[in-house]
Amino acid sequence: MVITNHLKIVGVVPASGASQRMGRDKAVLELEGRTFVQRAVDALRCGGCDDIIVVVPEVPRIIRAAALNTDARVLTNPDPGEGPITSMRVAIGHLDDSADAIAWLPVDFPLVCGEMVRRLCDLARRTLAPLTLPVHEYFIEDVRHEKRGHPAIFSRALFSELLDPALKGGARTVVHRHLEHAAIEVFRDPRVATDIDTPSAYEAVQAGRTPYEDQPPQTKD
C-alpha cells in the first residue's frame, strides 16, 4: 500500500534508567558486537524515523559516550529518578513544531529491528492514529496469547497528556486511555516484545533464546 501521509516521526531512546535489576548499565551491554543503545538507534534509523534522540543521565559518562557514538542527538535527563516519563518529557521538550510523533524504543529492547519499526511507522502514517502499538501474538497449547512490545508511536495529539505534571503512572496510563483508538500491528516475532533487564534475560538472548516461545496451534485430524 502506498503511504501518502508523511508523518515526521522522531525516534526516542530512553537510556537514563538506573539498571538496578540488571546490575550494570544496559545501554552499554553488547549483543552481536553492538551496544544496546546502538542497536536501538540503528533500528529506528533503518525503520524510517526522521530524526533520533537518545536521552542519557548526567552520570555515568560511559552511557553518554556510547550514545554519542551512535550519531543520534543526545540529550541529558537531569532527574531520571522519577521514571521513564522524565526522559520522554525531555525529548518532547526539544522537538520543533515539524515533529508529528515520537517512536519510543527503550534501550532494553535491543532485539527490535528496522523492519519492525518500518511496519509500525507505515501503519502510523496510513491511519494517523493517536497511538500505534506492536503486539507479539503467540500460542501455547493452542491458547492464544499476546504481549505488547516496542516501539510505541505517540502522535503529537498525545503530547499534552504526556507532559501533564499531574499524570500518574507515566506513559502506560496514556496508552491505556487510548487503546480503543490505537492502531495495532500484530507480529509473530518475540523479538518485538523481549525486554532484557535482568542478567538471566541477557544470558538467554546471548544464547539465542527468547521468553515468548511460540507453539502454533495443532491441526486437528
Distance, in Å, from the CA atom of 26 to the CA atom of 195, rounded to the nearest integer, reads 11
- Cβ count near 4 (within 10 Å): 7
> Taking 60 as the threshold, does the pLDDT of residue 208 lie above it?
yes
Are the C-beta atoms of residues 193 and 170 closer than 8 Å to each other?
A: no
Rounded Cα distance, 197 and 195, in Å: 6
pLDDT of residue 212: 59
8 Å CB contact between 121 and 43: no
Domain boundaries, the chain: 9-201
Which residues, including other chains, have CB under 8 Å from residue 176's CB and lie 6 or more apart? Answer: none
The beta strands (E) that lie in the chain are given as 9-14, 30-31, 34-35, 51-57, 73-77, 101-104, 131-140, 143-148, 152-155, 183-187
**Alpha-carbon span 153 to 191, nearest angstrom:** 17
List pLDDT tens digits, range 121-153.
Answer: 999 999 999 999 999 998 888 888 899 999 999
What are 155-207's pLDDT values in tens digits? 999 999 999 999 999 999 999 999 999 999 999 999 999 999 999 999 999 98
pTM of the predicted structure, to 2 decimals? 0.92
- The fold adopted by the segment(s) 9-201 is Spore Coat Polysaccharide Biosynthesis Protein SpsA; Chain A (3.90.550)
Long-range CB pairs of 170-177 (<8 Å, 24+ gap) are 170/83, 170/84, 170/85, 170/88, 171/84, 171/85, 171/88, 171/104, 174/131, 175/131, 175/133
